Amino acid sequence: MDKIKITCRHCATVLVCEESDRGRKVKCPHCKKRVPVPQFSPIEKALRQARHRAAQKKFLAVAAGVMLALVAAMLGTWIFQPVIVRWPDRRPVGELFLASNLYASPTNPRGWFNDSNLDVTGKGGTERFRAALVDYADRSIAILKRTGAQGVIVWDLEGEQYPHKTTYIGDPRLLERLAPEMDAAADEFFARLRHAGFKVGLTVRPQQLDFDYGQPHQAQVLNVRQTLLEKIDYARKRWGATIFYVDSTGGIRRPDEVWQLRSVAKARPDILLIPEHHYLPYWASTTPYIPLRRDDGGRAADWARKFFRGAFAAVDVSDAADDANKILRAHDRGDLLLFRAWSWSPECQLLESLASAPAAR
């Protein structure tokens, strides 16, 4: 604190006072009289206030600069991560939907093959289901070959016994409990696809299926990494699965999820993760899902490709044959094209033309 000097009016002794003494009286150590310490003059007070405001502004400017630098550094660390996805094969990937809840019936409670008349229960039920599954697999394999696909994702391995938002279970560990007829046939089903030369994959969810009073629901978990790794490792070990559609991700509503998915990708570098919901940082460690029938990702996807060199999307072209130019652009920039592979469609026709004449593109 600044010092001020005044002269005692009684004995002429020079007194040294504190700034805080202004407006008060101090005792002279020589004559013991009380001497008033003068207040600031209006001009002094104005100058002092101006200097104080200038110092405050300078401090705030420096503090703001430091805070912005820290925030920028944190955002840079959070968002601009190096791309760790290593998946050079960009041939299409088929989607297999095995069931629909709309066709669930007492004899086909999981709506297999959209056939409410199929009987997978009782005596001979497992055999009837297996025969239908083998036929489905063979038809799909023929389409996969014609379209030049590299692999396939089974969207609803556990069937679709429960309505939205529990439709896709995304937990192959529960197969024996939830769909015993599929559990008995799944090994042969996936082996059939692999022996035909295709990679295999399936849906997993970052939630845990719980039953409260018999009603199933997908419960949120804190440790998404562990939950996904347990499901993924089960499918890898049992069926050799390497492609995983991650259904019902949190996206921007779950800020920690992108880091947990990145940790999964680092722990299992030979797999491909395709999250349903996503935002910018997901592009560094996963292959975001974009349904072309609704949108093409827009500017967000364009910015992502600029920030993350080498990143690519999983573009679902189902029901998007009218947007052939968008499909061709996605193909040309190296995106992974997803398509329904259990029945022939105009999208399959376009993919077949791309596969048969790659040099023309």
Summarised one tens digit per residue, pLDDT across range 272-298 is 999 999 999 999 999 999 999 887 777
Q: What is the residue whose two structure tokens read 């190096």?
A: 82
Q: Any idea what the CATH number is for the domain that residue 214 is in?
A: 3.20.20.80
> Residue 173: inside a domain, yes or no?
yes
Which tens digit of pLDDT belongs to each residue from 71-115? 555 555 556 689 999 999 999 999 999 999 999 999 999 999 999
Residue 175 has pLDDT above 60, yes or no: yes
Q: Are residues 250 and 179 in the same domain?
A: yes
* Residue 57 resides in a domain: no
How many domains in the chain?
A: 2
50 in any annotated domain: no
Q: Are residues 124 and 266 in the same domain?
A: yes
In this structure, are residues 91 and 76 in contact, taking their beta carbons and an 8 Å threshold?
no
Domain for residue 262, yes or no?
yes
Asked if 206 and 332 sit in the same domain, the reply is yes
Regarding whether 195 and 326 lie in a shared domain, the answer is yes
Q: Three-state SS string across the chain, please?
A: CCEEEEECCCCCCEEEEEHHHCCCEEECCCCCCEEECCCCCHHHHHHHHHHHHHHHHHHHHHHHHHHHHHHHHHHHHHHCCCCCCCCCCCCCEEEECCECHHHCCCCCCCCECCCCCCCCCCCCHHHHHHHHHHHHHHHHHHHHHHCCCCEEEECCCCCCCCCCCCCCCCCHHHHHHHCHHHHHHHHHHHHHHHHCCCEEEEEECCEEEEEECCEEEEEECCCHHHHHHHHHHHHHHHHCCCEEEECCCCHHHCCCHHHHHHHHHHHCCCCEEEECCCCHHHHHCCCCEEECCCCCCHHHHHHHHHHCCCCCCEEECCCCHHHHHHHHHHHHCCCEEEEECCCCCHHHHHHHHHHHCHHHC
Is 51 part of a structural domain of the chain? no
101 shares a domain with 7? no
Residues 15 and 97 in one domain: no
Q: 131 and 226 share a domain? A: yes
| Of 343 and 304, more confident | 343
Same domain, 178 and 326: yes
Same domain, 23 and 136: no
Sign of CA dihedral 169, 173, 176, 181: positive
185 and 262 co-located in one domain: yes
Local confidence band at 358 (pLDDT 50, 70, 90 cut-offs): low
pLDDT class for 360, splitting at 50, 70, 90?
very low
How sure is the predictor about 6, in pLDDT bands with cuts at 50, 70 and 90?
Answer: confident
**297 or 319, higher pLDDT:** 319
Higher pLDDT, 25 or 68: 25
| Euclidean distance between CA atoms 95 and 348, whole angstroms | 12
Q: Is residue 97 part of a domain?
A: yes
Residues 56, 33: contact at Cβ < 8 Å? no
State whether 192 and 339 are in the same domain: yes
| 29 is a domain residue | yes
Q: Do 164 and 281 reside in the same domain of the chain? A: yes
What is the distance between the terminal CA atoms of the chain, rounded to a whole angstrom?
A: 78
Does the pLDDT at position 70 exceed 50? Answer: yes
pTM: 0.80
217 pairs with which residues across the strands? 210
Residue 9: what pLDDT? 83
Sign of the C-alpha dihedral computed for residues 267, 270, 275 and 278 taken in this order: positive
Cα–Cα distance, 268 to 182 (Å, whole number): 26
Give the range of the structural domain holding residue 13, as residue numbers without chain letter.
3-36
Per the domain annotation, does 205 fall within a domain?
yes
Average pLDDT, the chain: 90
